[in-house]
């Protein structure tokens, strides 16, 4: 009897442990509704090479980006924590249900998982810390950090400048970006951009 209980308890423990490790993303949205809501998004995120008008930089790739990070980004644009006039305009009309639906649709664009190697970054001591969260291959090792592999280099540079200047504040990146020199930013951005990973959304 005791043995049976022990087996049951350890089975339950294993299941809980597995759940904790896989950290399921709670996107129960309606992918069809997401596709409709996402139609306007494709006007920028679905065009290869599309740029932000001013300052000029590539619109970030979303195909394969993690759901947790996309949801956080949209909420931050919505509440103004992260400022960008166009993204604020798009996000401000989204309810939490709308965001879940967008995530369900965006998940159909797959997850970035290709691994590429690049030698350049080995010379950058500052990059060693980055991989503890963003992964050596640019894939996040915990759910929240965004995938960097395959992102546009000029967008990564912009993002790092925004953390450095405090324009994108209230998150762990502020401390990590602060110590990077301009040269290191360029090298790290090119390193992650050279990897296979994120893609422009299919139209």
Q: Which residues are at the interface with ligand HEC (CB under 6 A)?
A: 38, 40-41, 43-45, 52, 59-60, 62, 70, 72-74, 82, 84, 86-87, 90, 102, 126, 129-130, 132-134, 144-146, 148, 156, 158-160, 168, 171-173, 176, 180, 188
Closer residue to ligand HEC in complex, CB, 2/96? 96
CB atoms within 10 A of CB 140: 19
Closer residue to ligand HEC in complex, CB, 45/63? 45
Closer residue to ligand HEC in complex, CB, 14/143? 143
Listed residue (165, 203, 199) closest to 59, CA to CA: 199
Least distance from ligand HEC to the Cβ atom of residue 12, Å = 31
Closer residue to ligand HEC in complex, CB, 10/92? 92
Closer residue to ligand HEC in complex, CB, 3/157? 157
Least distance from ligand HEC to the Cβ atom of residue 24, Å = 18
State the residue for tokens 């309810």: 95
Tell me if 97 sits within 8 A of 31, measured CB to CB: no
Closer residue to ligand HEC in complex, CB, 12/32? 32
Listed residue (52, 62, 66, 30) closest to 142, CA to CA: 66
Tell me if 65 sits within 8 A of 147, measured CB to CB: yes
Least distance from ligand HEC to the Cβ atom of residue 148, Å = 6
Tokens found for residue 174:
């502020």
What distance in Å separates the CA atoms of residue 99 and residue 41, rounded to the nearest whole number? 13
Least distance from ligand HEC to the Cβ atom of residue 8, Å = 37
Tell me if 65 sits within 8 A of 25, measured CB to CB: no
Least distance from ligand HEC to the Cβ atom of residue 109, Å = 12
Least distance from ligand HEC to the Cβ atom of residue 112, Å = 12
For the chain, the C-alpha Rg in angstroms (whole number) is 19
Asked if the bond preceding 55 is cis, omega within 30° of 0, the reply is yes
Tell me if 19 sits within 8 A of 94, measured CB to CB: no
């Amino acid at each position: 009897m005791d043995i049976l209980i022990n087996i049951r308890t350890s089975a339950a423990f294993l299941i809980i442990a597995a759940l904790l490790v896989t950290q399921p993303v709670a996107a129960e949205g309606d992918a069809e509704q997401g596709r409709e809501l996402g139609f306007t998004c494709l006007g920028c995120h679905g065009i290869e090479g599309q740029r932000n008008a001013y300052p000029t930089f590539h619109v970030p790739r979303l195909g394969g980006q993690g759901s947790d990070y996309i949801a956080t980004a949209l909420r931050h644009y919505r509440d103004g924590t992260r400022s960008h006039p166009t993204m604020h305009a798009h996000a401000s009309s989204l309810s939490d249900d709308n965001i879940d639906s967008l995530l369900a649709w965006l998940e159909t664009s797959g997850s970035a998982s290709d691994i590429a190697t690049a030698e350049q970054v080995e010379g950058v001591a500052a990059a060693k810390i980055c991989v503890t969260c963003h992964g050596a291959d640019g894939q996040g090792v915990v759910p929240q950090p965004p995938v960097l592999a395959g992102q546009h280099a000029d967008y990564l540079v912009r993002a790092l400048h925004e953390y450095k200047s405090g324009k994108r504040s209230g998150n762990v990146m502020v401390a990590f970006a602060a110590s990077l020199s301009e040269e290191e930013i360029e090298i790290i951005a090119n390193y992650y951009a050279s990897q296979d990973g994120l893609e422009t959304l299919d139209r």
